[in-house]
Structure 1
Amino acid sequence: MSAKGGRLRLKDGLRVASVGLRSRPLRAALSALGIAIGTAAIVAVLGLSSSSQAGLLAEIDRLGTNLLTVEAGQSLTGGPAKLPREAPGRITLLDNVQLLAHTGLMKDEKVYRNSMIPVGNTGGLQVRATSLNLLSVLNTGVARGSWLNAGTAREPVAVLGSAAAEQLGIDRVHPDQRIWLGGQWFNVAGILKPSPLASEIDNSALVGYPAARTYLGYVSIVRGEQKAGPPSSIYVRAATGHEAAVQSLLGQTANPEAPNEANVSQPSDALTARAAAAGAFDSLFLGLGVVALIVGAVGVANIMIISVLERRSEIGLRRALGATKAQIRTQFLAESILLAVIGGVVGVLAGAAATAVYASSKSWAVVIPVEAWSGGIASAILIGAFAGLMPAVRASRMPPTVALRTA
Structure 2
Amino acid sequence: MARKRRPETDTEMLDYVAAPGEPVEAEPVGRRARRAAEKAAKAERKAAQAPLASSKRQGRFGIRSMGIAYEAFQSLRGRSMRTWMTAIGIALGIAATVATVGLSSTSAAAIAERFDATEATQVTVSFSNNMRDAGFAPTLESSERVRGINGVVDAGVFCASGEERAASRTESQDYVRDVPVFGMEPGAMDAFGFEFTQGAAFDAGHVARDDRVAVVDESAARDLGFSSLDGGPMIYLDGLEYALVGIYRAPEGEAKLTGAVVIPPTPCMDADATYGAAEVFIRTDLGAADKVADTAPTAVFPESPENLSVSKPSDLRSFRKGVENEMQALLLGLAAVSLVIGAVSVSNTALVSVMERRSEIGLRRAVGAARRAVAMQFVWESTLIGLIGGLFGTVLGVNVTALVSLYRDWQIVFEPGLFAAGPIIGAVVGVVAGVYPAWRASRIPPAVTLRA
Q: TM-score, normalised by structure 1?
A: 0.69
Equivalent in the alignment of 2:32: none
**Worse-matched range after superposition: 37-46 or 391-400:** 391-400
User: Runs of 5+ in structure 1 lacking a partner?
Assistant: 222-230
Cα shift at 1:282: 3.7
Cα shift at 1:377: 2.7
Equivalent in the alignment of 1:225: none
Aligned in 2, Cα 1:73/1:10: closer, same or farther, shift over 3 Å?
same
Aligned in 2, Cα 1:248/1:148: closer, same or farther, shift over 3 Å?
same
Equivalent in the alignment of 1:145: 197
Q: Matches of 2:421 and 2:248 in 1, distance apart?
A: 50
Cα shift at 1:371: 5.3
Contact between 2:388 and 2:423, CA under 8 Å: does it hold in 1? no
Structure (1/2) with the larger helix percentage: 2
Secondary structure of 1:305's partner?
Answer: helix
Equivalent in the alignment of 1:251: 297
Equivalent in the alignment of 2:274: none
In structure 2, give the amino acid aligned to 1:131. P
Aligned in 2, Cα 1:89/1:76: closer, same or farther, shift over 3 Å?
closer
Match of 2:261 among 190, 205, 210: 205
In structure 1, give the amino acid aligned to 2:299. T
Match of 2:253 among 165, 185, 195: 195
Equivalent in the alignment of 1:228: none
Secondary structure of 2:143's partner?
Answer: helix
Equivalent in the alignment of 1:224: none
Q: Matches of 2:135 and 2:408 in 1, distance apart?
A: 39
Equivalent in the alignment of 2:112: 57
Contact between 2:138 and 2:269, CA under 8 Å: does it hold in 1? no
**Worse-matched range after superposition: 73-82 or 57-66:** 73-82
* More RCO (CA 8 Å, sep 6+): 1
Cα shift at 1:147: 7.8
CA-to-partner distance for each residue in 1:75-123, whole Å, 9 max, x for gaps?
Answer: 44745742012112222344x243223244363883758655656x44x
Match of 1:305 among 346, 351, 355: 351
Equivalent residues, number:
372
Contact between 2:366 and 2:449, CA under 8 Å: does it hold in 1? no
Contact between 1:341 and 1:381, CA under 8 Å: does it hold in 2? yes
Cα shift at 1:386: 2.4
CA-to-partner distance for each residue in 1:210-232, whole Å, 9 max, x for gaps?
Answer: xx8xxxx87979xxxxxxxxx94
Equivalent in the alignment of 1:279: 325
Q: Matches of 2:107 and 2:341 in 1, distance apart?
A: 29
Q: TM-score, normalised by structure 2?
A: 0.63
Equivalent in the alignment of 2:138: 83
CA-to-partner distance for each residue in 1:344-388, whole Å, 9 max, x for gaps?
Answer: 234334444444455555554433445555444322211211222
Q: Matches of 2:80 and 2:246 in 1, distance apart?
A: 65
Listed as ranges, the matches of 1:86-125 within 5 Å are 86-94=141-149, 96-105=150-159, 107=161, 110=165, 112=167, 121-122=178-179, 125=180
Q: Matches of 2:410 and 2:166 in 1, distance apart?
A: 35
Q: Matches of 1:23 and 1:266 in 2, distance apart?
A: 64
Identical pairs, percent: 27
Secondary structure of 1:102's partner?
Answer: strand
Q: Matches of 2:401 and 2:168 in 1, distance apart?
A: 39
Match of 1:382 among 403, 428, 437: 428
Verify: 1:343 aligned to 2:389, yes or no.
yes
In structure 2, give the amino acid aligned to 1:299. S
Q: Matches of 1:132 and 1:260 in 2, distance apart?
A: 24
User: Runs of 5+ in structure 2 lacking a partner?
Assistant: 1-54, 207-211, 271-276
Aligned in 2, Cα 1:404/1:37: closer, same or farther, shift over 3 Å?
farther
Verify: 1:127 aligned to 2:179, yes or no.
no
Cα shift at 1:242: 5.7
In structure 1, give the amino acid aligned to 2:318. T
